[in-house]
Chains A and B, each alone.
Chain A
């Protein structure tokens, strides 16, 4: 049984101008002990999917799903209780996640005191050991520091230590390296991998960066216009993508074309979030679209764990 099991999740937010369909139909099966990447461009619903899992959707938002389970519990009813106990969040900007006027010791202690019944001395030792587990040298010095005295990479490690302090075994990492330099980001990704191996964590990695997927993830799900369109092992998705959108996204990368040659930009733009979509959401921009594509919801194709939704027969890929 997958740890996170989501089938046809939708999140709509009512506004005076009509419903915003932030998530239209996302399915995700995340197994214990894997790093699962969710990749897509702005407005594809990747962050809202993570927020729904944390029970942090905007007020008035409507969540519907055929199945929305975490470790057998229904997230529709229990997300707020699981948040902070089983499910933790690592956000994009560690400087914004930390309180600038409190020491790291105080901020870590706040989390440990809330979640665990421990005397003060033990909490201090636990805080130091959590910082050490994130690879920070000299945890005692870091505990005495304030966020502005730490580099971005160190701050992100403190945020990860905070998430671990709750005892969470499932982390949602929303663009955890986007605000960091490439070399520092690579270290943070290596740390997440080590925590997965050593502590049996499971990670949902939200990103827009194919290089992060390749560097850090075991499996990946591609989102387009609020729908999951392809899922599979990272190697298969990156090397033999099945969905035309995944192929287009990979060919638009600057290293996909010879030096100086024109890049294969994707024409058009994503459908407006308030519009209804019949058929395949990518059909208007798809170079291989047929008449049926904008009329009917595409069937599932692929084999084993590599699946995608497309009207094109498999051998056309």
Chain B
């Protein structure tokens, strides 16, 4: 028997309603089906309006779905309610695009990293302090950052703090929404290396959403291309890059330097 995938999405449809009597608009996500295997990274690529954010929100249970199914870690994810949902959500960590918007400017880095643990009912104390220090060092930051605040950090350092916070409750799935789009190329390389390290050391599964096909092609095991709500391409990264089935994917790949992927 094959192991249960981390995430199994089956014919998911998401539709925004304009009003009670308005005509039904085209769905934002039109029957998306894909699987994310345990310990793997799935890249989701698409331009604005392609439905990738709607898809993420549905996986985070922030948005109702019209039909279809989502199984997370073998569990019927859409059936969970109330406390059970709250508890199960700890299996997912989220990193967003701009760390300066997602990190509180008022709190110290230590308080930022403590927050998810306190919210999950863990007790303050030496054990928590130790765990926070370990998270920080796992994400490549020195211990003296604990007393600093987000505005004193560079973009790359702040994004490392955001990744550390996402890992605080030891999730199995990390959702990354354009995690390097606000960063410089040399810093982007550091963050992509860090994600590879974390994937190897913690066996994390990752959902990596971006408009930059070259970034996600480098880091992902499989690749999903969305356009106007449809999944137009889904497969192993090397297959999609090597022989893209859709003109749109080829267009994304051909932009810029042409010695790429040689």
Contacts and interface: CB of A to CB of B under 8 A. Distances in A.
A181 B211 contact: yes
Contacts of B192: 254, 263
Interface string A242-275: 0000001100111101011011111001000000
B85 interface: no
A182 interface: yes
B189 interface: yes
Contact of B218 (A208, A255, A264, A269): A255
Interface in B169-222: 184-190, 192-193, 196, 211-215, 217-219
B256 A254 contact: no
Which bucket holds chain A's interface residue count? 20 to 34
B184 A259 contact: no
Most chain B CB atoms below 10 A, which of A252, A262, A265: A265
B189 A260 contact: no
Contact of B185 (A212, A238, A252, A257): A252
A238 B257 contact: yes
Nearest to B258: A214
Contact of B189 (A208, A215, A252): A252
A191 interface: no
A253 B217 CA distance: 12
A198 interface: no
A149 interface: no
Given A181-B48, A182-B252, A182-B255, A260 B184 contact: no
For the residues of B in contact with A, the DSSP-based class is helix
Contact of B186 (A209, A262, A265): A265
A256 to B, nearest CB: 8
A131 B52 CA distance: 32
**How many of chain B's residues touch chain A, expressed as a range?**
35 or more
A252 B261 CA distance: 14
A254 B217 contact: yes
Interface in A217-259: 238-239, 248-249, 252-255, 257, 259
A265 B211 contact: no
B115 interface: no
B202 to A, nearest CB: 17
Contacts of B211: 181-182
Interface string B234-262: 00011001000000100110011111110
A172 B261 CA distance: 32
B186 A254 contact: no
A46 to B, nearest CB: 12
B47 interface: yes
Nearest to B227: A183
Given A42-B155, A254-B215, A259-B237, A215 B188 contact: no
Contacts of B213: 182
A184 B261 CA distance: 23
Query: Which of A184, A212, A215, A260 is most buried by chain B, counting CB atoms within 10 A of its CB?
Result: A260
B184 A42 contact: yes
Contact of A214 (B248, B251, B252, B256): B256
Contacts of B184: 41-42, 208
A211 B238 contact: no
A82 interface: no
B255 A184 contact: no
A208 B248 CA distance: 24
11 contacts: A181-B47, A182-B255, A183-B251, A209-B256, A210-B257, A211-B257, A214-B256, A214-B258, A257-B218, A263-B193, A269-B154
